[in-house]
Chains A and B, each alone.
Chain A
Amino acid sequence: MVDFSLWDIVRNLLLALRWTVALSLIAFVGGGLVGLALLVARLSKLPGAAPAVALYVQIFQGTPLLMQLFLTYFGLSMLGIDTSALFAASVCLTLYASAYFTEIWRGCVLSIPRGQWEAASSLAMNFREQLRYIILPQATRMAIAPTVGFLIQIIKGTALASVIGFVEITKAGQMIANATYEPFLVYGCVGLMYFALCFPLSVWSRRLERKLNPLR
């Protein structure tokens, strides 16, 4: 019977934590880019964009992330793409994040008074210029706090990638718990590590909210 020290457990978890962070960043950046594209498409009133994006958002916000992961994983292999768990999880979490980001940012843009758009267009700016120089700078300021806040949701979402086999910290925790027969200790450590990642972001997000949105 091999005896595992606490350090053995923690060390292995920390190694897996790298993958949690990596997947989170992929989804954050990827989701941000896709979300921004969707936002611009919606705002520029491309024909059919608004209802399509609305449906897209409704699907990702109205269904379990776990189902989305399964569908991506099995869907990709059905399309003939030989896929690793990491790839499938990255694709799924990117799209998941993009749906939430586009909604969050749309809310920020909508809360900018109509008068700003009108003033900009009265100055003969075209849509792209209005967006780039007047609207987005203001909306960005308001969007920082909730965007940081959603990063926390992404980090927590990566835990579900374990179910399709990706070895991040939750999966590593399961494997270690089974090997050591110490589920209380192991899952406790996993929880604390997620907490260590997410709590500082929570605090920062709240501070940003107070600083950048004092009117709220």
Chain B
Amino acid sequence: MSLDFLVVLAQWPMLLKGLALTVLLTAIAAPVGSGLGIACAWARLHGPSWLRVLVGSYVELIRNTPFIIQLFFIFFGLPALGVKLSAETASILAMVLNLGAYACEIVRAGIESTPPGQIEAAKSLALNRWQIFFRVVLPPSLARVWPALVSQIIIVMLGSAVCGQISTEEISYAANLISSRTFRSMESYILVTLVYLGFAVLLRQTLNWAGPRFIFGR
């Protein structure tokens, strides 16, 4: 039983290409999914009752089914309705919808924990509903739930490994390819797993730096 990592490392262009796509998928899905989550949280708290039911159903459906099935449904199932998507688009869509549902609940908890005095003060200053939501309620809410939201983004990033199953050429797909080419399965998967681990750490640190800086000012 000998492990030969060099053979696998020789395939670094393929690994890099795969990593780039993983990063890209995450870079698009994270903000769009979070934005969807914020919109859904608002809808669940302040929307008309039909919208609340719709959003609630969406959230429960996503949270109680596996991501791989959501992905398969979008990529394989939607063409039956005439909606044919590329593997990358299907992956991004599935990741966005998945993150959106979890982010909805996370952000909703943050919004609900807003001290009522904040809203009263904002009302007394004659701010309208949208101004109160975006300028007074949302930033501190995001600050409160930031660790949970970041964790969820990382979960979705790790879950994107499954997208290789529909031939999206992200890094787990690269691992499969390299494994079958070099016959060095363990080395390929160990290496790619370490890359995921490293990216997860980097992503968490980046988001923890970016959040206070750009989104909620502290």
Contacts of A187 in B (CB 8 A): 69, 72-73, 76-77
CA of A184 to CA of B162, assembled, Å: 19
Given A62-B200, A177-B76, A184-B81, are A71 and B69 also a contact pair (CB < 8 Å)?
no
CA of A78 to CA of B64, assembled, Å: 35
Stretch at the interface among B32-40, B41-49, B183-191: B183-191
A70, A74, A160, A170 — most chain B CB neighbours (10 Å): A70
Query: Are B65 and A198 in contact (CB-based, < 8 A)?
Result: yes
Query: Are B77 and A63 in contact (CB-based, < 8 A)?
Result: no
Contacts of B77 in A (CB 8 A): 183-184, 187-188
Query: Are A162 and B68 in contact (CB-based, < 8 A)?
Result: yes
Query: Are B193 and A63 in contact (CB-based, < 8 A)?
Result: yes
Task: Classify chain A: how many residues form its interface, as a range.
Answer: 35 or more
Query: A163 in the interface, Cβ–Cβ < 8 Å?
Result: yes
Least CB distance, A4 to chain B, in whole angstroms: 15
CA of A92 to CA of B69, assembled, Å: 20
Q: Which secondary structure dominates chain A's binding surface?
A: helix
Contacts of B175 in A (CB 8 A): 67, 70
**Which A-chain residue is minimally distant from B68 (CB atoms)?**
A159
Residues 71-89 of B at the A interface (beta carbon under 8 Å)? 72-73, 76-81
Contacts of A78 in B (CB 8 A): 1, 186
Contact with B along A136-161 (1 / 0, CB 8 A): 00000000000000001000110110
Query: B121 in the interface, Cβ–Cβ < 8 Å?
Result: no
**Which B-chain residue is minimally distant from A163 (CB atoms)?**
B165
The 7 closest A-B pairs by CB, nearest first: A159-B66, A64-B161, A198-B64, A183-B76, A184-B80, A184-B77, A156-B66
Instruction: Knowing that A66-B162, A156-B65, A190-B69 touch, tell me 7 more A-B residue pairs with CB under 8 angstroms.
Output: A64-B159, A64-B161, A71-B193, A170-B68, A173-B72, A182-B80, A199-B60
Can you list 12 pairs linking A and B with CB atoms under 8 Å apart?
A: A64-B158, A64-B193, A67-B193, A70-B185, A71-B193, A78-B1, A170-B68, A177-B72, A183-B73, A183-B76, A191-B61, A202-B63
